[in-house]
Structure 1
Amino acid sequence: MKAETLQPAKKPGLPLDPVTRQPLSPMATPGYYPGFSTLSQQNFWDETTRQVVLERVNRPPEIRFFNDPAELALMTAVFDRILPQDDRDEAHKIPIVPPLDARLYQGRINGYQYADMPSDREVYRQGLKAIEAIAEFLHGRAFVELGPREQDEVLKTIHDGKPPAGEEYWQRLNVNRFWQMLVQDAIEGYYAHPYAWDEIGFGGPAYPRGYMRQESGEPEPWEVPEKRYEWDTPPDSLSGEYSPVGGQGETQSHVGQEGTH
C-alpha cells in the first residue's frame, strides 16, 4: 500500500481568526515564514544530502507494518489528532505515519527501550487496540468514526494516564510511556520533512555551504523575515485546553495551542 493513499478519517475544523472568528484558509506554508521553500536551497547541498531530502517528499516509505487497512486508518486518525495539519493545503500535508511504519517494520528503536515495556512493535499493536476499546467505551463507535472532539476526548484519557477501558492492554503497557512514544514518533516524522522546515524557516543542511552571519542574530541571505499571525483553536477541538501529562498535578497550567503561528 502506498503512503500517498493515506487520508484523514475526519475533516476537523480549521484554526480561527481571533478577530473575525472565521476559519483561516489552509496554506502551502503555514508558520512564521510564508513563502519560504527549503527545497529552493537544494543546489547548495551535496548530492547525497539532496537525494535523502528529496526522497522524503517524492518517495515516502511504503506501508509494510500497518498492512491491515483498518489498523492503518486508525493509526492515521490518531496522528491526525496528535499533530493536526488542517492549516496545510492537501498538496503540502506531511505523511507522518510512513516513517513510523518503516521504523517498526525494520525493528528500529528510538535509542532505548524501557524494561517494563514490550517491543515497540507490540506497543503499537496493543496500544491501538486499547484506543479502540476506549472509543467504544466512551462513545460506542470505532475511533475513526468519531468527530474531532470525541477523538480528542479518547486520546486525552491516555494523556491524563487514566484510560477508562482496555485494562487487558494496559496491564502490559505503561500508559504514560505509550503517550510519550506516540507524541515523539509524530513529531519526529513531521519535523524530518522539508515542508516542516519551511514552516520554521530552516534552510536545510548547512553542509557544504555553511553559515555566513554568525553574529548579532542577523538572518542569512537566503532566509525570509519572520511574519507571525494570530489564531485560535477550532471550536471542535480540545487542543486549546492544557493539562500536564499524566493529569493534573503541581505543574502550572498555561495556554493551549492558540496564539501566534
Structure 2
Amino acid sequence: MNRKNEKSALGRRKFLALAPTGAVAAAAGAALLDSETRHDTRLSQDALPPLVADSYLTDAEKALVSAVFDRLIPADDAALGASDAGCVAFLDRQLAGPWGLAATRYRAGPFKPGTPEQGDQSPFTPRERYRSGLKALETRCTKSEGKGFAQIAPERQDAFLQDMEAGRHGPDGKAFFEMMLQNVREGYFADPLYGGNKGMTGWKLVGFPGARYDYRAEIDRPGADLGLAPISLMDRG
C-alpha cells in the first residue's frame, strides 16, 4: 500500500469506526435469534425478514448517488468503495420499502423545527427528500461547475460536498448531506442480507465479527484482535 492509499485507509477507518452504526448493533442483536449454535447464526429462509426487491431510484439518480457515496467512502487497497460494496443497492431497497414511505412515522403535523434529541422533524418522506435533494444537488453543481456531479474531478466533488456539509448550500443542502452520510454508513455496515456490505467488507475493515450468538469466551479481551472471521445472517454478499 502506498503512502497516499495508507493515509486514505486510515482516515476512512477512523471515520467508519466512529460512525453511529445502528445497523451493526442490529446485526449483533439479530444473532440472539439462534440460541443453540454459537458460531452459525445463519437463518432459514422462513425466518428471514422480508426483502423489498423493487427499485425506487431512476438510473440517473443511482449514478448520482453512486458518485456521491464513492466520495464519502472511497475505494482503496484496504476495502471496497461504497458503490462496489452495495451501498446504492441498499439505499434503493430502503427507499422502495416502508422506510422510504416513512410508514412508521407520525406525519399528520404540525411540523416544527426540533431539537437534536428529537431527530428528523421533516414533513417529507425519505423518498421525497432524496428525489428533491438529488435534483437540487445536480442543478447547483451544473450551475457552479458547468457539469453534473459525476462528471467533475474528484477534488471538485469533495469541495462541493464540503460546502454542503458546512451549510453553504443552505440548511436543506446540509440536512440532505447528513442524510446521505448516515445512509451510506448504514449500507456499508448492514448485514449483507440487505444488499450492502458486500463480502462483509465494512465489518472486516473495523474488525466486527458479525452476527454471532455471544462473545462470552472473548469478553475478557477488550480491544484485542479476536481473529474471528465475520459471519452474516446467511451466505450472501
TM-score range, shorter chain: 0.5 to 0.7
Q: Relative to structure 1, is the Cα distance of residues 78 and 176 closer, same or farther in structure 2, using a 3 angstrom cutoff?
A: same
Corresponding residue number in structure 1 for 2:62: 72
User: Structure 1 CA distance, aligned partners of 2:123 and 2:217?
Assistant: 46
Structure 1 counterpart of 2:43, from 33, 43, 48:
48
Partner deviation per Cα, 1:124-156 (whole Å, 9 max, x = no partner): 001101111121122111111111011112212
* Number of residue pairs matched by the alignment: 178
Structure 1 counterpart of 2:222, from 217, 226, 235:
217
Residue 41 of structure 2 contacts residue 212 of structure 2 at CA under 8 Å; is this kept in 1? no
Residue 74 of structure 2 contacts residue 80 of structure 2 at CA under 8 Å; is this kept in 1? no
Q: By percentage of residues, which structure has more helix?
A: 2
Matching of residue 137 in structure 1 with residue 143 in structure 2: yes
Q: Relative to structure 1, is the Cα distance of residues 52 and 179 closer, same or farther in structure 2, using a 3 angstrom cutoff?
A: farther
How far has the Cα of 1:110 moved from its partner? 10
Corresponding residue number in structure 2 for 1:128: 134
How far has the Cα of 1:116 moved from its partner? 3.8
Q: Relative to structure 1, is the Cα distance of residues 51 and 199 closer, same or farther in structure 2, using a 3 angstrom cutoff?
A: farther
Residue 62 of structure 1 contacts residue 98 of structure 1 at CA under 8 Å; is this kept in 2? no
Corresponding residue number in structure 2 for 1:178: 176
User: Structure 2 CA distance, aligned partners of 1:148 and 1:51?
Assistant: 44
Instruction: Could you tell me which runs of 5 or more consecutive residues in structure 2 were left unpaired when the two chains were aligned.
Output: 15-36, 106-118, 191-196, 230-237
How far has the Cα of 1:75 moved from its partner? 1.1
User: Structure 1 CA distance, aligned partners of 2:174 and 2:87?
Assistant: 21
Q: What pairs up with 1:143-162 in 2 under 5 angstroms?
A: 143-162=149-168
Instruction: Could you tell me which runs of 5 or more consecutive residues in structure 1 were left unpaired when the two chains were aligned.
Output: 1-14, 33-41, 54-59, 164-169, 225-261
How far has the Cα of 1:76 moved from its partner? 0.8
- Opposite residue 43 of structure 2, the aligned amino acid is T
How far has the Cα of 1:118 moved from its partner? 1.4
Corresponding residue number in structure 2 for 1:259: none
Partner deviation per Cα, 1:79-131 (whole Å, 9 max, x = no partner): 111221233368x9411011111111113159767334411111000110111
Which shows bigger deviation, 176-185 or 124-133?
A: 176-185
Q: Percent identity, please.
A: 25
- Opposite residue 217 of structure 1, the aligned amino acid is P
Corresponding residue number in structure 2 for 1:86: 76
User: Structure 2 CA distance, aligned partners of 1:119 and 1:219?
Assistant: 42
Give the structure-2-normalised TM-score.
0.61
Residue 56 of structure 2 contacts residue 95 of structure 2 at CA under 8 Å; is this kept in 1? yes
User: Structure 2 CA distance, aligned partners of 1:84 and 1:122?
Assistant: 27
Give the structure-1-normalised TM-score.
0.56
Partner deviation per Cα, 1:26-52 (whole Å, 9 max, x = no partner): 99xx969xxxxxxxxx98223318999
- Opposite residue 106 of structure 1, the aligned amino acid is G
User: Structure 1 CA distance, aligned partners of 2:62 and 2:174?
Assistant: 23
Corresponding residue number in structure 1 for 2:95: 104
User: Structure 2 CA distance, aligned partners of 1:52 and 1:80?
Assistant: 33
Q: Relative to structure 1, is the Cα distance of residues 110 and 177 closer, same or farther in structure 2, using a 3 angstrom cutoff?
A: farther
Q: What pairs up with 1:31-42 in 2 under 5 angstroms?
A: none
Q: Relative to structure 1, is the Cα distance of residues 184 and 215 closer, same or farther in structure 2, using a 3 angstrom cutoff?
A: same
Partner deviation per Cα, 1:46-81 (whole Å, 9 max, x = no partner): 33189999xxxxxx9756111x22111111111111
User: Structure 1 CA distance, aligned partners of 2:92 and 2:47?
Assistant: 18
User: Structure 2 CA distance, aligned partners of 1:85 and 1:198?
Assistant: 14
Q: Relative to structure 1, is the Cα distance of residues 160 and 16 closer, same or farther in structure 2, using a 3 angstrom cutoff?
A: farther
Corresponding residue number in structure 1 for 2:112: none
